[in-house]
Every structure is written in C-alpha cells, then in structure tokens.
Amino acid sequence: MNILDRITVDKRREVQAKKSIFPIDFLMNSPLFIRKTNSLLESVKNGSGIIAEFKRRSPSKQVINQISSVIDVVKGYENAGVSGISVLGDTKYFGGALEDLIQAINSVDIPILRKEFIIDIYQIFEAKAFGADTILLIAAILTKDEIIAFSKQAKELGLEVLLEIHNAEELKKSDLTYVDLVGVNNRNLKTFEVSLETSKLLSMLIPDNKIKVSESGIGTIEAINELKEYGFKGFLIGENFMKTDDPGKAAIEFLKKL
C-alpha cells in the first residue's frame, strides 16, 4: 500500500465521521456558501501563473514549516503577485486544517484552491461552505464516474476544478467535461522522486483547451521557462517557499525574477 492508498483509507474514515456530525444541510447554511468565487482559471491565464502553497509538512519531507502563520504567508503570497494560493487541509499527513482555509479566505482577495484528498461529494460541499474557489480532484484515487460526478457537482456549486494526474493512464480514464485545469504532479508517489520530464511527456496528451498546471519540483525560473515551452500556464510551488523562514518574502523575491 503506497502513501496515497493509506491517505485515502484514512480519509474515508474521516469523512464518514464528519458526515454524521455535520450533514450537508448544515454545510449549506454556512455564510460562506453564498460567497462569490474567484476564478483561478482566469487568474492563471492572465497573471504570473504561480500557485503558491501553504503547507506545514508532508509524508515525504515531514516538517517543512511549523512556525509561519497562515495569515502572514498568504498575505505575502498576494503581495508577491501569485495567481492563486493552494491551502492543504489534511491534518494527519500534512498538518493542515479547515481553519487554515477560512483564515486564507478572509486575508486575501485572490483565488484559493482547497488541496484535499476528495473521495466523497460531501467534501465538495464542505469546500464551498469554507470559502474555497477551486477544488483539487486526484485522478489516481477516483474512478471515471467519480471524476464526472464530482467535477459536475463542483461546477453546480460555482467552484472550479483542478484535476491532478500522474501518468497517461490517469488522463485517459478522465472525462474533462467539467474540469477547468489539468495538473501534472511530477512526484512519483511510490518512490517520491520528482522529475519535470513527467510534465513534458504528458503535456502533449492534455487537450489544448485546458489550462495546464505543473506541480512539484519547481524551484527555479529556468524550470518555469522550460515548462512554458510545453504549454504550461500554471506552476504550483509549495516547499520552495514554505521551507524558508519567510515564505511570503521568498515568493516576492522569486516572482521579481519572472
């Protein structure tokens, strides 16, 4: 069982517990449920393309940054000129919380991606209730029917969808009808090795009418320029900023060079 499988098993237990305490009807009464969403798609198309991430730790790197506050980081990211901010909500493996999402939403005016392991439609309503603009769907843990149902539900709630793939097989099984952005994760989930070649190879298979986002292992301006030649408009950067003492400042310095 790889790390993604373990996370998925734990996530199913977590969601079942939440559903019994906070049903969908409860979520729909959240004040943020009627909030007008910001478009990550348009922001990536017309801006820097950088999606900066807030995360405290990861299964591969353990602790990344347990000191910086959500508010300080996301404000720094916004000042840097990023196109969007990814907030990791998983607690057990990434040290995140839904409260991080709320703090981010209340601190900045740019699109927020809820980066979560979504395995139930309930989590899409949860994302809407907590103010997210975009949700992440991971093809590796979903069936074709789930990708269709989840992405359609997101669109009905006014949310955009970033579908993440790791290989050609995942893309082939995915119906992109309701998907706004297609992300390529450069990290091998079995070995944790990262290679930008994954993005380059898969770029040719992603339809031209979908915004391409490269994820993981992007730490230099050269890498971004290289990926742009393969049609990528979005670049999700997490550890490169979060591993510093001041992620916002690191983002500002990085984007100055773009």
Quick: pLDDT tens for 148-186: 999 999 999 999 999 999 999 999 999 999 999 999 999
CA 121-84-151 angle, to 5 degrees, is 25
- Provide the domain count of the chain: 1
Mean pLDDT (the chain) is 95
Q: Per the structure block, which two tokens stand in for 180?
A: 């706004």
User: Which tens digits make up the pLDDT trace of 55-108?
Assistant: 999 887 778 998 899 999 999 999 999 999 999 999 999 999 999 999 999 999
For residue 30, name the pLDDT band (cuts at 50, 70, 90): very high
Integer CA distances (angstroms), 197 to 115, 203, 226, 244, in order: 23, 10, 11, 26
pTM of the model: 0.96
Burial (CB < 10 A; 0-12, 13-18, 19+), residue 4, is: middle
Q: What is the dihedral of CA 24, 27, 32, 35, to 10 degrees?
A: 10
Residue 107: left (phi > 0), alpha (psi -120 to 50), or beta? Answer: alpha
Could you tell me the residue range of the domain that residue 185 belongs to?
Answer: 3-256
Q: Please give the span between the terminal C-alpha atoms of the chain, in angstroms, as a whole number.
A: 40
User: Which tens digits make up the pLDDT trace of 189-203?
Assistant: 777 789 999 999 999
Q: What is the pLDDT of residue 13?
A: 97
Q: What is the pLDDT of residue 192?
A: 77
User: What are the residue numbers of the active site?
Assistant: 53, 55, 115, 164, 185, 215-216
Residue type, 215: E
CATH of the domain at 112: 3.20.20.70
